Structure 1
Amino acid sequence: MKSRQPVTPLQPAARGEAPERAAPTAAGSYPSVRLRRVRSTRWSRRLVAEHRLTVDDLIWPMFVIEGSNKRVPIASMPGVERLSVDNIVASAEQAVQLGIPAIALFPYTEPKLRSDDAREAFNPENLVCRAARAIKAAGIEIGIVLDVALDPYTSHGHDGLMRGTEIANDETIEALVRQSLVQAEAGADILAPSDMMDGRVGAIRTALETNGYVNTLIMAYAAKYASAFYGPFRDAVGSSMTLASSPEKRDKRSYQMDPANSDEALREVAMDLAEGADLIMVKPGMAYLDIVRRVSETFRVPTFAYQVSGEYAMLQAAANAGWLDGDAVMMESLLAFKRAGAAGILTYFAPRAAAVLNEIRA
C-alpha cells in the first residue's frame, strides 16, 4: 500500500479520504470475551470511558439589552433571558463560580439604532462593549467572546453590508475590521467572526497586530451553515424582524455554507487558519457532528461547536412537555460533541450542565 503524506493544517485530506486509523484488534469470541463485563458497574464504566465532558469544555452565550436590573424571557428559548449589563456582570460572576471558563455576548439592538451601514457596531458605547468593560472593571477573571458580524446592527438583518440585493464582501470586511478594533479596545479576549465573508480573518488579524492587540484570539466561524436552526437566536437579537421585513433579501445562502457540503468546510477552515485564526468553530453543532469530526481530525487544532438556539429549543421544549428527561438529553447531547472531537461547546445549557457536572465531581 502506498504511504500517505501526513496532513498539515493547511493541507486537508483529499476528497473522500478519512484520516488513517489503527485497525481494530480481533474481538475474540463469547463466552471468553464478554463485553458487558466492563459495563456492569458504575466504577468500571468510569475507568474505561473514552470521552469526558467537563465544565472546562463550556462557553455560555448571553444576550444583552438596554436598561438596569432587567431580565426579559425569550419565548422561543425557554429558560433563556435577555439581560441588562448589570445582570450580565452578575451572570459572569456566576459563571466563574460554576467553573465555566468563557462567556459569549450578543446584543439586542433597539430598532432605532439599526442602520444600513451598521454604524452602531463601531460605537464604543454599544451594548456588548459596555458589558465587556463592566465585567473587566468588576475584576471578574473570565474569557469574553464577542461576535464579529453586522446582523445585530443592520436594518436589513444581514451579516454584511448590502448593495442592492447583494452582500458586498470587501466593503463588509472594512466594517468588520472597525468593529473588531472597537471590541478589542473594550476588552474582548476572543473575537469570533461569524459573517462568513472571504478574507475577513486575515484583515482582522492584521488590524489587531498593527494596533497592538497581539494576544487577542480569533475564533473563526469557519464552517457556518445556512441553517434553519437559527430561528430562536434571530428572535433573541432582533434580526428576525428585520429579515422578515424584506422577504426578497432574507436568504443568507450566498455567504453561509450549503448544508449539502462537507469538503467545502475543509477549504474554509484551511483558509481561516492560514489567515491567522487561533480557534475554529463549526455551526450548527448537533446536525453537523460529521463536520466537527472531519475538521478536528484533519487539522488537529482546537475545534469548537455551537449548540445553536434551535437545537437548544427543541430539547428544552420536549423536556418541558415531559417527553424527554431534560438533564439526561442535555448531558448526552453535550458528550456527543466531545465524542466527535470538539475541544469545547458554546451552549445555552452551560450553567445547568456545569451545575450537574460539579455535583457529579463532588
Structure 2
Amino acid sequence: MVPTIKDVAAHAGFSIATVSRAINAPHTVNPVTLDKVRQSIDALQFRPNPLGRQLRGERTRLIGVVLPTLANPVFAECLQGIDELASAQGYRLMLMTTQYDADRERHAIETLRAQRVEGLILTVADADTHPLLDELDRDGPLYVLMHNDTVRRPSVSVDNRLAAYDGVRMLIAHGHRRILMLAGTLAASDRARLRHLGYAQAMQQAGLEAAPALEIDFNADELAPSVLAHLTNGPSRPTALFCSNDLLAMVVMRGLRRARLNVPADMAILGFDGLAVSELLSPPLASICAPNREIGCAAWRRLISRIDGTYQTDTSLALTLPHTLREGATIAAITNASDAPRARTARPVV
C-alpha cells in the first residue's frame, strides 16, 4: 500500500497539518520537528504529489493575527502598527478574533496553521499556561505575543502589574482611600489579573484594604443595575474606580452619568490603555497609557527577525515597553475618606 501523509503523521507523532507544513513550507516548522518528519518520510518512502513538490520551500508571506476583539480600540491600534510594517515588507495579514473564548482561540490558531502562515502574532487569555502555545513552541509556526505579560514566551507588553501599581498610587496621592477595581472576567485575561495584583500591592502598601476585582462581561456595553447599585449606594461606597481598560471606563462613566452621578465630583475614574478617543470624552479620561501601536510594531519586528533568522538568541524573550500616566479630568482630589461625597441612590435608567 502506498503510504499517505496520514501515515507519515502517525509515524512521526505529529498532526497532518504539521507534516503538511514540513513538506510545503519547511521554513515555518521547528527544526527538530522538521527533522523527525523527514526521518518518517524516508522510513516510509513517502513521496508527495507533484503539487506538493512544487510548493516545497515556497513562502506564503502570510502572517496570522489572533486578537480577542476589534471592539476594543486598543487591539485596533496594535493592528494598525502591524499592518503598516507588513504592507511595507510585502506581507499579507490574515486576522481572526476570539471573543476571549478558549475554543475560538484553538479554532483560530488551527485555521491559520492550515493556511500555511509563516508566523503568528497573538493575544491570548493566559500566556503562561496555554497548551496551544506549547504546541506552537514544539511544532511551529513561530509566534510573538502582544499585551500578554510573560517572561516564558516571545512577547511584547508593558509591565501590567507595575503600571497598575503606579496608577492606583496616583489615586491614593489624590486622597482616595476607598478604591475599587473593575475588570472583565479575570479567567479570560492574564493582563487583568496582573493589573489586579498591582492594584492590591498599591493598596496594601498604603495600609488600605484591597478588594477583589468586580468582574464584568468584557463585551457588555451597559452596566447592570445591580453593578451600578453596588458602586453608588451605601455609606462606604468607593470614591474612586480603577478600570482594567479604557473601554470599560467609558461604559462606567456612561452608567454613572445616567444615574445622575458626576465624574469626578461624585466618583473618580482611572482607565488603562491610553486610548486617543478617551481624551475626547467629557471630562477627558485619566488613564494608564500603553504604547499600543508601538507594541504592534515591536511584535512585528520580533516575529520577522525570528522568521528570517536574524533574531539575537541572547535577547530576552519578553520585551517590556514603558507605560505613562495621563492625568485626565476624571480624577479630583479629596483630603480624606470622610470628605468623600455622600452616598447617593442611583436613579433608574429610562
Q: Where on the TM-score scale, by shorter chain, does this alignment land: which range?
A: under 0.3
Question: Which protein has the larger Cα radius of gyration, Structure 1 or Structure 2?
Answer: 2
TM norm structure 1: 0.25
TM norm structure 2: 0.26
